[in-house]
Amino acid sequence: MVKVGVLALQGAVREHIRSVEECGVEGIAIKKVDQLKEVDGLILPGGESTAMRRLIDKYGFMDALKEFAAEGKPMFGTCAGLILLAKNLVGHEPHIGVMDITVERNSFGRQVDSFEADLAIKDVSDNFPAVFIRAPHIVEAGAEVEILSKHNDRIVAAREGQFLGCSFHPELTENHDITAYFVDMVKEAKAKQLV
Amino acid sequence: MKTGTDRVKRGMAEMQKGGVIMDVVNAEQARIAEEAGAVAVMALERVPSDIRAAGGVARMADPRIIEEVLNAVSIPVMAKARIGHIVEARVLEAMGVDYIDESEVLTPADEEYHLYKSDFTVPFVCGCRDLGEAARRIGEGASMLRTKGEPGTGNIVEAVRHMRKVNGQVRKVVGMNEDELMTEAKLLGAPFELLLEIKRLGRLPVVNFAAGGVATPADAALMMQLGADGVFVGSGIFKSENPAKFARAIVEATTHYQDYKLIAELSKELGAPMKGIEISSLSPENRMQERGW
């Protein structure tokens, strides 16, 4: 059985773990760098990206996360996690910088502009209840990036091979379709490694 | 597309979990807090210990200070309105503040009624000392809770009391049968439907942070062990000798609240924390936690 980690430095960790478990696989909260070895895929949860980045640096997670990506293991970033994955950020230096996208932070406005909307997400759902909280969006996607969903012409979900990212918070809803999609990515990646 | 839903308002607080929210009085402090890894800042005119020292009526901060802080950082900005002060809250909402604290740290504008927070698009955090108070605030539309503690004292004892009380009462409700909940609701002064929801979820439906008296990294870690979802630090940081170092230490202690070697390490040579006040030396009318009901 595959194991999916959730980076547990700050943010909506418990909800992601519950969602992973709902998909029938084991979810592990990753607080220490060594734990990354135990998991086949990693979710970077929603939270505050600046706070997470400070803790990533403090505990030497950065190299380990880049290595995790280099090993071809799937990574899924939601909201702040999407910001951590992006190769380019508008007005800021990138963080892990592995997914070929440019992301703008807080691009829908402040908290009073946070919203819910139903989305069609390619290969995932025709009607996904998406919760956007001070959300970022993908301004530009590289040639290899598959755009999975748009909201008002803005890219809000995309995949590039092993990397999956979205602007919204699937962990705040009871719909586990996108988590299940990611768990399938993890299973496929692990099967390939075993061959 | 819907704004201001419970999910959006409560979800915003969920994203702050495991983090530290710091009181700041200007843009420079806000930047220090963000740099140290704060998940949000609370923009104030004065920190609680100074409010205590100054006496008189404490009100919403000057909007210029709030604006300055809003422009200085990319993390969420919270601000305090007086209990029951509809217009202060609406002004903060109009300014684009990300969260409002209907706070007993300020002098209440209404001694009978709290705000009807469900009417607002902006989410609210409120203080609580027990489950009845917590449930009444959620019933009015609060999307996040915090212990009241005793603000501006640097003394953790009241926050500990309030966190233990709420969590103990939640455990009791979860363990009760449905037919016992109406009587419990009556005794607590809590909405019945909320107790049903708490029983179903096995926990409060919103996050509950620690606040009011957190003065050291060990205090922050203690509150996390007692079940806090995160920590508010008021006077503690910018009343300490080295705020930047102190702020980083509190953030790390909150993340790794069970790593005692680390907490020992980051508690070294932090300089003097704020002096603090023994609670029994505060007369009842000087206890901020008695404000609100």
CATH code for the domain in which residue A93 is found: 3.40.50.880
DSSP A140-184: EE-TTPEEEEEETTEEEEEEETTEEEESS-GGGSS--HHHHHHHH
Tokens 């990646």 label which residue?
Answer: A189
pLDDT tens digits for A67-123? Answer: 999 999 999 999 999 999 999 999 999 999 999 999 999 999 999 999 999 999 999
Enumerate the known binding-site residues of B for D-ribose 5-phosphate. Answer: 23, 152, 213, 234-235
Q: Which ipTM value was assigned to this complex?
A: 0.93
pLDDT tens digits for B30-62? Answer: 999 999 999 999 999 888 888 888 888 999 999
Residue type, A136: P
| CB A168, CB A79: distance < 8 Å | yes
Q: Which domain holds residue A23?
A: 3-194
With a CB cutoff of 8 Å and minimum separation 6, the contacts of B244 are B32, B35, B36
The predicted model scores a pTM of 0.95
Choice between B291 and A96, residue whose per-residue pLDDT is larger:
A96
Backbone CA torsion sign across B172, B173, B177, B183: positive
The per-residue pLDDT for B14 is: 96
**Residue B107 DSSP one-character state:** P
Q: Under DSSP, is residue B68 helix (H, G, I), strand (E, B) or coil? A: helix
Alpha-helical runs (H) found in chain A? 13-22, 49-58, 61-70, 80-85, 177-194
A12 CB neighbours in chain B (<8 A) are 14-15, 17
- Give the 3-state secondary structure of B264-288: HHHHCCCCCCCCCCCHHHCCHHHCH
The per-residue pLDDT for A39 is: 97
| CB A178, CB A166: distance < 8 Å | yes
User: Measuring CA to CA, which residue among B33, B123, B74 is closest to residue A104?
Assistant: B74
Kindly tell me if the per-residue pLDDT of A156 is higher than 80. Answer: yes
Look up residue A127 and give its two tokens. 């009607």
Percentage of chain A with pLDDT > 90? 96
Residue A146's pLDDT band, with cuts at 50, 70 and 90, is very high
The per-residue pLDDT for B69 is: 97
Residue B7's pLDDT band, with cuts at 50, 70 and 90, is very high
Q: Alpha-carbon distance B287 to B279, whole Å? A: 8
Kindly tell me if the per-residue pLDDT of A195 is higher than 80. Answer: no
pLDDT tens digits for B65-92? Answer: 999 999 999 999 999 999 999 999 999 9
Q: Under DSSP, is residue A30 helix (H, G, I), strand (E, B) or coil? A: strand
How many domains is chain A partitioned into structurally?
1
Nearest-CA distance B214 → chain A (Å) = 19
Backbone CA torsion sign across B142, B144, B148, B153: negative
pLDDT tens digits for B110-161? Answer: 999 999 999 999 999 999 999 999 999 999 999 999 999 999 898 999 999 9
Q: Is B174 exposed, middle or buried (0-12, 13-18, 19+ CB in 10 A)?
A: middle
The per-residue pLDDT for A191 is: 93
A10 CB neighbours in chain B (<8 A) are 17-19, 39, 255
pLDDT tens digits for B227-286? Answer: 999 999 988 898 888 899 999 999 999 999 999 999 999 999 888 777 788 888 888 888
Percentage of chain B with pLDDT > 70? 100
- pLDDT, mean of residues B165-186: 98
Nearest-CA distance A194 → chain B (Å) = 35
Choice between B153 and B184, residue whose per-residue pLDDT is larger:
B184
The per-residue pLDDT for B38 is: 97
Look up residue B58 and give its two tokens. 């404490």
User: Measuring CA to CA, which residue among A48, A55, A185 is closest to residue B252?
Assistant: A55
Phi-psi group of B59: left, alpha or beta (phi > 0 → left; psi -120 to 50 → alpha; rest → beta): beta
Q: Alpha-carbon distance B231 to B21, whole Å? A: 6
User: Measuring CA to CA, which residue among A13, A135, A163 is closest to residue A75?
Assistant: A163
- pLDDT, mean of residues B7-34: 96
In chain A, which among 106-125 make CB contacts under 8 A with chain B?
A: 106, 110-117
B2 CB neighbours in chain A (<8 A) are 115-117
Q: Alpha-carbon distance A41 to A3, whole Å? A: 7
